[in-house]
Amino acid sequence: MFVDEVDVHVVAGGGGRGCLSFRREKFIPRGGPDGGDGGHGGSVYIVANAHKNTLVDFRYHPNFEARDGKHGQGSNKTGHSAEDLEISVPVGTLILEKDPPEAVTGDAAVSPSSPGRLWADLTEEGQRVLVAKGGRGGRGNARFVSSTNRAPRRVEPGEPGKERWLRLQLKLLADVGLVGFPNAGKSTLIARISAARPKVANYLFTTLSPNLGVVTMSGDRSFVVADVPGLIEGAHEGHGLGHRFLRHVERTKVLIHLVDVSSASGRDATQDFEVILNELKLFDERVAAKPHIVAANKTDALDDPSRLARLETRVKALNFPFHAISAVTGKGLEPLLESAWREIVTTRDTGIGATLASTDV
């Protein structure tokens, strides 16, 4: 199961209590106070892990609590500090701080669209962020000895650990994003050019979650491609599966727009291209401005060459690279991948089309 948004509750450990103790031994006339400090509570960290690709674990385990520090003891023994708690999340996870449930009214407490304050954006393997700091241990009475107070009976309780409600949002990290209408052939294409094996069938919305695949090319070249579930008109407003998955193309460097040029869909290929291009603009102008490659798919089933000609004319008028391909037979795929690689190299050098700023969340 692919899950890309969850709410979690984290609680850091509290500090241990300081000890009230006096050393009383025979022949030791001035033993004095010897109460040790309490140990520090464990902090909570969130760590980016490249071996994870979904947040599904948090759906069934949303609460995380670090251990408390141990109390201080006599003989000036400091309590044991608790170990920090590390929570692994996929690379590409956004961490947003939410208000406590009691501070939110109505359905806003559980609504996936309710906003949160951006805490961190984990875009690199091993990136580690402190989200809840453990409480400091309290001081024992040995700490309060002074020239005027030789036998203090004062100690401190440990500080409570921080408690936070967080929203985790996953935005896939990929070099290339495949976009297009449902059943345009995106799953077939990613299965053809990579080792990914998404579900492929001849009906709409076959893909219900994004798929990632690694494309290997000659010369030890490779890039990651993401198959984004089919978009439809109104996707930016949440129609179909669009709004939920459109954010996954925000991080891609290049977009490959697949258009079905066969007559099987009953739609006009050029109009399909215009609709998806408009949806990307309405979602975010910067997403639509990313380097764009248009691939006219299903040429093996093309029964009206004028459909392909009209689409090519429109695409070239916008100065987008155009390729006629068949994901089923493999026709035209090598030039398409080479074109994608050139765009990827260009964006890596210039930064054009790179990840959008995290402040946009």
DSSP string, 151-217: S-----PPPPPPEEEEEEEE----SEEEE-STTSSHHHHHHHHSS------SSTT---S-EEEEEEE
Model pLDDT, residue 86: 96
Please tell me the class of the 5-170 domain.
mainly beta
- What is the DSSP pairing of strand 128-132 with strand 44-49? antiparallel
DSSP label at residue 294:
E
In a 13 Å sphere around the CA of 69, the CA atoms on its Cβ side amount to 32
Model pLDDT, residue 207: 44
* Range list for CATH 3.40.50.300 in the chain: 176-360
Of 291, 287, 293, the closest CA to residue 273 belongs to: 293
Rounded CA gap, 297 and 186, in Å?
Answer: 9
Model pLDDT, residue 351: 53
Which one-letter amino acid corresponds to residue 335?
Answer: P
* Range list for CATH 2.70.210.12 in the chain: 5-170
Alpha-carbon torsion (121, 125, 127, 131), positive or negative: positive
Of 338, 305, 301, the closest CA to residue 323 belongs to: 338
Low-confidence ranges of the chain (pLDDT < 70): 1-3, 29-30, 102-115, 196-209, 230-245, 349-361
Model pLDDT, residue 91: 87
At a CB cut-off of 8 Å and minimum separation 6, what does 258 contact?
A: 178, 179, 180, 184, 185, 186, 189, 295, 297, 327
Model pLDDT, residue 27: 73
Measure CA 325 to chain center. 32
Rounded CA gap, 326 and 208, in Å?
Answer: 23
Model pLDDT, residue 296: 93
Model pLDDT, residue 23: 87
Model pLDDT, residue 350: 62
Contact 311, 259 (CB under 8 A): yes
CATH topology of domain 176-360: Rossmann fold (3.40.50)
Rounded CA gap, 84 and 131, in Å?
Answer: 11
Of 44, 131, 58, 132, the closest CA to residue 89 belongs to: 58
Model pLDDT, residue 323: 95
Longest dimension (CA), the chain: 107
Model pLDDT, residue 105: 41
Residue 9, by phi and psi: left (phi above 0), alpha (psi -120 to 50) or beta? beta
Could you give the 3-state DSSP secondary structure of residue 323?
Answer: strand
Model pLDDT, residue 354: 45
Rounded CA gap, 37 and 142, in Å?
Answer: 9
> What are 305's two structure tokens?
């060459």
